[in-house]
Structure 1
């Protein structure tokens, strides 16, 4: 299903409007929102502290242990770290409502040894990972801290999660473990990732990633010319076959060969060449069709390179294809209760809906299981994400935990005030 244009979105159902207005006018909820704003400086200090605890790919444990301590300190006494490294804590409701998962991810893209010292320049913080997703973790902690202090009782449960493996070849392993392996029951999902609080992710962009390798005998570039097949030439043949493909624009479907390695010297026929392929689409059908086309191109290139030199026996070039990433796509649903609650929350807080789109992040996993899900902004402004000169700017960042909190309260219901707007899944 294509993502709906903002000006064509349906009006909010009456029950969402009524619940929005009740929460907005409630003294307890207003006190919570004010407490979150007053918590701003502490949240930023926590953001800096978290950022300076390295969380390289597949090595988030040190940061996770720190976050586990904060979960427990802020009221989640039964919080734990699971076998995959996710930090999980449940804020229990009355037991008569749905479970809403609120998640931000621990990991960064930066390898061990990266200097993650934060430099503060007025309203701007600079450091690798200072925004993505350190600010998401800090916003989630601010919501938890202020919600506990408020005494607000929800009907449903809130499952706070600091997940691992969201970035790159982490392949959403934290959320996959929770939902595919442990099958933790949740009825809805709110992720916190990327700065813009005016953005709502309505769908999930699927991504398949492959490691493609050609291997052969190699040989001297002069003496073995026309005798030994070249791994690099085979890769070039494959690229030429799909480089000019025009995949669908709606839903947006893309391909990219992002990394390529091979060869040893300028005067050697390459015995090895490998590449990493990224395929994306908002629709699983289009993704699979594109994948089949491009993977077939690598097979055809192999045959052509071997045939060119009449390779046989030990001289034959071989091909291997290994999938290194599988992020399922999830269609948008304008009437999803999580989407409707997020829109209602934006309206209550005076936030303009600026982007209504899809992306690839932790919410892909619950969406793939039919669980209503979205990802909301972490607040402030950001730039140069995934680069050493990443920065984050203080610009009303309290709107993020306010929005996540208001959205969650609409979904879980507030005891004595509103009923849950998120159905309990069977």
Structure 2
């Protein structure tokens, strides 16, 4: 059953020979701005590329996710999904020009997740060049509205409306090569917004400061007693506010994330923070609002699940060292629906989430090979128990 492992080194060499096609797809897709909720142009282009590579079926679903299907040899085996999110953190005003050298590609969004989408678009041609056939249908989808306020809406809709079972799934992320995600923590991502009245009265010199008010909220959060079991934490990730140096800040915003292996603990911590926010809103007589931006439920595969074990075997065959940690990607949606899935990184890179983000080209061929190996493992039945 594991005979496919011996084929992997030769796959990496063959993929390198068509590297120009893969790099072209990454660059063409990456240079199309695709902020969350504005992915249509990138989705349309991905659909065009899949049609050019002659997938058996391709269309946009009712939510706007581009989907391509490569028919397998069996009419009874459920399909295998390969997905990559289309949206990036950069708006349309950012310069999306990419710089290509012999060893690297640089540009905004390439590490999250333009390289992953470019590889997704290249898979039909890679399968054809390597003469790889699957028993299952392979469903390729670039899902929209994934990150931030998108709250994984694209993949949620795709799976909710898919008729029939799904055999297994692989989620593609540009980096980091060696990542093997097979579990997701429970999570609530929140914003606290503080707004202070601008009406001037005799007491205007003593108005509360929005930034300092949020600082009090932060101090209260940091003073919370969090359990070691189940593991839980609150990550303070963003704060912004104010207008200029000599003026009291009337508006400020705080972004944070609650994470735990326990969904119940996430809710408990959220409720405690809600009480903190309400208390300071009343005490300081300011407008404080707590909003939920996105959330996910805790879900996981066991380490001894055949999919995880075979993914580890694939990576070790390619001299990759697996690194596992919780993932907030589409993985959580698959796992919450009892669909075995893993998230894999394509290559190494630098300057994550920055405009000068860079991926390395050479490791990418090994990263793509691991994807093929995991797909072959799923097709041979490691998710069928």
Counterparts of 2:160 and 2:268, CA distance in 1: 25
Q: Secondary structure at the match of 2:355?
A: coil
Choose from 361, 386, 392 the match for 2:359: 392
Matches within 5 A, 1:15-414: 19-20=1-2, 22-25=3-6, 34-93=13-72, 94-180=74-160, 185-215=165-195, 217-220=197-200, 222-224=202-204, 234-245=213-224, 247-248=226-227, 251=231, 253-256=233-236, 258-261=238-241, 270=250, 272-306=251-285, 317-347=286-316, 349-379=317-347, 381-413=348-380
Q: Secondary structure at the match of 1:355?
A: coil
Q: Secondary structure at the match of 2:339?
A: coil
- Paired positions, count: 383
**Deviation at residue 293 of structure 1 after TM alignment:** 1.8
Q: Which runs of 5+ in 2 are unaligned?
A: none
Counterparts of 1:386 and 1:158, CA distance in 2: 30
> CA 1:382/1:292 → structure 2, altered by over 3 Å: closer, same or farther?
same
**Deviation at residue 170 of structure 1 after TM alignment:** 2.1
Runs of 4+, deviation exceeding 6 Å: none
Q: Secondary structure at the match of 2:274?
A: helix
Q: What TM-score do you get using the length of structure 1 for normalisation?
A: 0.80
**Deviation at residue 421 of structure 1 after TM alignment:** 2.3
**Contact 1:283/1:330 (<8 A) preserved:** no
> CA 1:267/1:139 → structure 2, altered by over 3 Å: closer, same or farther?
closer
**Contact 2:172/2:345 (<8 A) preserved:** yes
Alignment partner, residue 9 of structure 1: none
**Contact 1:124/1:393 (<8 A) preserved:** yes
Q: Secondary structure at the match of 2:122?
A: helix
Q: Secondary structure at the match of 2:299?
A: coil
What's the C-alpha RMSD, in Å, of the aligned pairs?
A: 2.9
Counterparts of 1:61 and 1:210, CA distance in 2: 27
Counterparts of 1:263 and 1:237, CA distance in 2: 20
Counterparts of 1:305 and 1:391, CA distance in 2: 46
> CA 1:45/1:24 → structure 2, altered by over 3 Å: closer, same or farther?
same
**Contact 1:98/1:412 (<8 A) preserved:** no
**Contact 1:203/1:282 (<8 A) preserved:** no
> CA 1:68/1:46 → structure 2, altered by over 3 Å: closer, same or farther?
same
**Deviation at residue 407 of structure 1 after TM alignment:** 0.9
**Deviation at residue 229 of structure 1 after TM alignment:** 6.7
CA distances 1:107-155 after superposition (whole Å, capped 9, x unpaired): 1110112111111233122111223212112222333212134443322
**Contact 1:157/1:412 (<8 A) preserved:** no
Counterparts of 1:382 and 1:122, CA distance in 2: 15
Q: Which runs of 5+ in 1 are unaligned?
A: 1-18, 307-316, 414-419
